[in-house]
Structure 1
C-alpha cells in the first residue's frame, strides 16, 4: 500500500494567490528597503514565486530553522541552524514561511530577528493553520488558511519527500508508515 495524497490547493489557486500577495506587499513596502528572508527548506518554492510577484527592488536572504525533525508533529524546540548573511539593521524584514502551525517557530524567529534592529519584522506565510496554535502569533500576509491536516507539496515535506509537488496536498500515511 502507498501513502494517499488529496489535492487541497491547486497549482492555479497557488499562482493566483501569490500574485495577489505580491501586489499587496509591493504597495505596503513601496519606497522602503525590503529584505525577504525565507525560512529553509520549506519556503524555497513559495519565496521563489513570491519575489517574482513583488514588482520592486528587494533583496533576499535565508535562515534555516528546525522544529520538526523527521516526523509530522513539531518538537516544540526551535533551533536556528543558519542566520541571515545580510545586515538587516534599519531595513524592513519580511519573514517568508511555508506554514504557520503552532506558531512557535515564527515567534522565535521574529524575536531573534527583532534583536538585529530592523525597521520592521512582518510575516508572510503560504499556509496558516490557526487551529494548532500554541502561541498567539499572526502573519500579516496569509496565502491560505487551512484545516488541521498534515500537508505536503509546494515546498512542504514529509521526511524530506514531496516538496516538489506543484500543489498542496493532504497526506494520509498508509498503515506501514504510521
Structure 2
C-alpha cells in the first residue's frame, strides 16, 4: 500500500520505501562481510519483522536459514506494556549456531533483552541483532545492537511491518499516524 492511499491517516512519512530498501541493502552487505565463511540463522520476530526479514534475506547473496519467534509486549496499544508474552518459539535447535535476530524496531529494549538472554542460554555460538529502526530515547534496557538501519524519534510509527491494531503493516514506507486514528 502506498502512502497516498491513506494520506488522511498519516501525520508524516519518516522513511520512504526507497530509503528503506537502500538501508536494507547496506545492512545485508555488512552482515555478509561479518559472517563470511560462517553459517547463519536468521531469526525474525513476528509479526512486525516480516517485511524486513523478507527484504533482508533477499538482499543477501549467500544461503541463510530462517526461523521465527513471536513475543509481544504491546497488545493493541501504542506503548510497550513491558510484560513479555511468548506466542511462538523457535522450531530450530540453535546449539552452536550463529544467530542473527532480525527486528523491525527496538523500542524499550525489554522484549529484545529477554530474547537475547533466552537464545544465548540455549547454546548459540553467537547472538547478534539487526534492526531496521531503533528509538534511543525510548530505551529502558540497554541492548547491544550490531546492525541498526535508522535511529528515529520516540513516536509511534507504522508501516513496513509495523501496525496499529493490525492495520498499516503493508504500508511501503514508515510514518507517524494522525492523532484522530488512535484517539478514537
> Which TM-score tier does this pair reach, normalised by the shorter chain?
over 0.9
Aligned to 1:135: 141
Question: For the Cα contact (< 8 Å) 2:43–2:66, is it kept in 1?
Answer: yes
Instruction: Name the CA distance, whole Å, in 2 between partners of 1:176 and 1:148.
Output: 16
Cα 1:162–1:32, aligned 2, differ >3 Å: closer, same or farther?
same
For structure 2, the residue ranges without an aligned partner over 5 or more in a row are 1-7
Question: For the Cα contact (< 8 Å) 2:116–2:127, is it kept in 1?
Answer: yes
Question: For the Cα contact (< 8 Å) 2:10–2:175, is it kept in 1?
Answer: no
| Higher relative helix content | 2
- Give matches, 1:6-25, under 5 Å: 6-25=12-31
TM-superposed CA distance for 1:173, in Å, is: 2.3
TM-score of the superposed pair, with normalisation by structure 1: 0.96
For structure 1, the residue ranges without an aligned partner over 5 or more in a row are none
Aligned to 1:160: 166
Cα 1:176–1:5, aligned 2, differ >3 Å: closer, same or farther?
closer
Are residue 49 (structure 1) and residue 55 (structure 2) matched? yes
TM-superposed CA distance for 1:5, in Å, is: 3.5
Aligned to 1:170: 176
Question: For the Cα contact (< 8 Å) 1:30–1:56, is it kept in 2?
Answer: no
Aligned to 2:80: 74
Cα 1:176–1:70, aligned 2, differ >3 Å: closer, same or farther?
closer
Aligned to 2:105: 99
- What do the CA deviations read for 1:56-85 (whole angstroms, capped 9, x no partner)? 111000001000000000010011211110
TM-superposed CA distance for 1:148, in Å, is: 1.1
- What do the CA deviations read for 1:72-116 (whole angstroms, capped 9, x no partner)? 000100112111101111110000111001000110110111111
C-alpha RMSD over aligned residues = 1.3
Instruction: Name the CA distance, whole Å, in 2 between partners of 1:155 and 1:176.
Output: 18
TM-score of the superposed pair, with normalisation by structure 2: 0.93
